[in-house]
Amino acid sequence: MSWKTELPLIAILRGITPPEAGAHIQTLLDAGFDAIEIPLNSPEWAVSIGEAVRNFGEGALIGAGTVLQVPQVEQLAALGSKLVVTPNTQPAVIRRAVALGMTVCAGCATATEAFNALDAGAQALKIFPSLSFGPDYIKALKAVLPPQVPVFAVGGITPENLHQYLAAGCVGAGLGSDLYRAGQPLERTAQQAAAFVRAYKEATR
C-alpha cells in the first residue's frame, strides 16, 4: 500500500468555517502540505469541503475527518472528497468509502481494530490518541501489522515529538490543535506548518 501524497502529514482543520478555509488551506499548501482534513464537527463542513475540492482538489488530497456514518460517506463522495478519516473502526463506513474510490485512514487503537479496518479495505491506519499510547506502544503494534500498511500518529503530535513517532514506524502524522485551532490567524497557521514540515524533513533525511 502507498500513501497518495508527497508529504505524509495530514492537516486537521477542526472548527474551521467556510470564509476562513480557503486562505488557511492555501497557506498549508504553500508550506508543502498536500493532505487536508476538515472534520465533520466543523461549522458548515459541506460548504468548506466542497469549496476546497473545487479550488484545491487537483493538487491535494482533500477530505473529511470524524466520519462516522455511511450517509456521510455518500455525501462526501458527492462533494468530490477523496479522503475519509475516521476516529474509530467501523467496517461499513470503510467499505463504502473504498467502494466509492476514496482513500480511508481508519482510526484504531488495538491490533483487533487495526486488522478489522484492514479487512474492510482501509488503505491506512491512524493510531488515536497517539500521545496517550506513546511511541513504544505504536512500535509494538507495528510489529504485527503488514509492513506495507501506512500508519499515522494522531493526537498530541507536535513539531518537537514528531520524530519519536516516525522512529517508532509511523509513515507520518495527523496534525490537530498544534497546527490549527479554530479562529487562529493565518500567521499562526503558516508558522506551525513550517515547523512541522521542518521537523518531518529533519527526522527523515
Query: What are the tens digits of pLDDT across the range 86-141?
Result: 999 999 999 999 999 999 999 999 999 999 999 999 999 999 999 999 999 999 99
* Mean local confidence (pLDDT), 65-89: 98
Residue 112 has what pLDDT? 98
Report DSSP state, residue 152: E
Model-wide pTM > 0.85:
yes
Three cell numbers, residue 29: 499548501
> Is residue 2 predicted with pLDDT exceeding 70?
no
Residue 189 has what pLDDT? 98
> Residue 76, SS3?
helix
Query: What are the tens digits of pLDDT across the range 20-57?
Result: 999 999 999 999 999 999 999 999 999 999 999 999 99
> Residue 125, SS3?
strand
Residue 18 has what pLDDT? 98
Query: What are the tens digits of pLDDT across the range 155-201?
Result: 999 999 999 999 999 999 999 999 999 999 999 999 999 999 999 99
Three cell numbers, residue 9: 502529514
111/151 Cα distance (integer angstroms):
12
Q: Domain coordinates of the chain in residue numbers?
A: 9-204
Query: What are the tens digits of pLDDT across the range 143-157?
Result: 999 999 999 999 999
64/15 Cα distance (integer angstroms):
12
Residue 3 has what pLDDT? 75
127/129 Cα distance (integer angstroms):
6
CATH of domain 9-204: 3.20.20.70
* Catalytic annotation, residues: 37, 126
Share of the chain above pLDDT 70, in %: 99
Q: Are the C-beta atoms of residues 165 and 179 closer than 8 Å to each other?
A: no
